[in-house]
Amino acid sequence: MSQTTVVCVSTPSFASLTTLRVGGAPSALYECASAASLAETVAKLDRDRVPLLVVGGGSNLLVADGELDLAAVLVRNEGISLDDDLRLRAQAGTEWDAVVAYAVEHGLGGIEALSGIPGSAGATPVQNVGAYGAEIADVLTRVRLYNRETGADEWVDASSLDLAYRYSNLKFTSRAVVLEIELQLAETDLSIPLRHLGGECVPLAEARESVLATRRAKGMVLDAADHDTWSAGSFFTNPVVPSALADAIEAQVGEEHMPRFPAGDGQEKLSAAWLIERAGCPRGFPGEGAPARLSTKHTLALTNRGSATAADIAALARRVQDQVRDAFGVELHPEPVWVGL
């Protein structure tokens, strides 16, 4: 397979490949430095009926402990290009924040609110990443996919991905592998309206720094020395519930200004972090000594305090889900993909 190598590292485990820093050892490790080698590697493993997991930045994975009958295919094709129509293309293995930095440096707006989100460019359409009033669906035009069902290497329109809140029809399936993405950006001096600044538009570089500062304060920018960042970012999506249930929860809690946002068709989006805290799970829950805890900076992040296993993270997630369900009748859904748990 051209430009494809099997990488042997001192500790070949998913703990070394994911931002939660948990997970067992894959059966083999393939590093793919080009889109062609990524497609070829997946095709060969599929022909040989070898179970595989495609790993980009590893920021959206919770992988089981122990020896795993699963090959890890590492997405390491990198590169950014820009055409005359301000369409930006990023190879799937490019660090996402490097894509945002490139856009801001070139005076291109549309993704500055997505600064600091960990992971690779190829993961952004899979879960339709978003933050502070923006999401990748706002600017995504096409995605280059390796179709595992047909063997085709093809560009598909973003409209075919059923993009919705933290969802695409690529998520939780293995039908295709993202090789490259294409974004339509705009030449501008000012950012999009930023939710964390009350809808204000500010210069692009200022917007990026503001978003990064806000994320750092919540432990949402990776830092090896800070266990609050040993996480998968926001672990649960914000639930969408009937307005009547939102009314009942607000009355039950008895607080003014519960975070609630219209979601159409008599539905409202609630803040998962707000619900978690009021269900009895504050920052740092369940307390000192626990190997897996909620971040001390942001309730929505489940963190590895240095010695947690995947089972510890999963147990904490289920405990939080149970408490929110028991308190409010709301089911929280994890954002990360769970593998083998």
Coil vs helix vs strand at 268: strand
Pairing relation of β-strands 52-55 and 71-75? Answer: parallel
**What's the CA gap between 36 and 43, in Å, rounded?**
11
**What's the CA gap between 167 and 320, in Å, rounded?**
22
Question: Is the four-CA dihedral 221, 225, 228, 233 of positive or negative sign?
Answer: positive
Name residues whose C-beta falls within 8 Å of residue 339's C-beta, 6 or more positions apart in sequence. 23, 53, 61, 62, 63, 64, 70
User: Which entry of 37, 234, 268, 283 is annotated as an active-site residue?
Assistant: 234
Coil vs helix vs strand at 211: helix
Could you confirm whether 234 is annotated as catalytic?
Answer: yes
Q: Could you tell me if residue 254 is left (phi over 0), alpha (psi between -120 and 50 degrees) or otherwise beta?
A: left
Question: Is the four-CA dihedral 265, 271, 274, 278 of positive or negative sign?
Answer: positive
User: Which entry of 31, 40, 180, 335 is annotated as an active-site residue?
Assistant: 335
Coil vs helix vs strand at 267: strand
Which token pair is 310? 């995947």
User: Which entry of 166, 208, 215, 283 is annotated as an active-site residue?
Assistant: 166
Which token pair is 20? 């939660």
**What's the CA gap between 5 and 56, in Å, rounded?**
16
Which token pair is 215? 């994320």
Could you confirm whether 335 is annotated as catalytic?
Answer: yes
Could you confirm whether 293 is annotated as catalytic?
Answer: no
Among residues 35, 23, 20, the alpha carbon closest in space to that of 76 is found at 35
Decide: 194 and 186 in contact? Cβ < 8 Å.
no
Name the residues annotated as catalytic.
Answer: 166, 234, 335
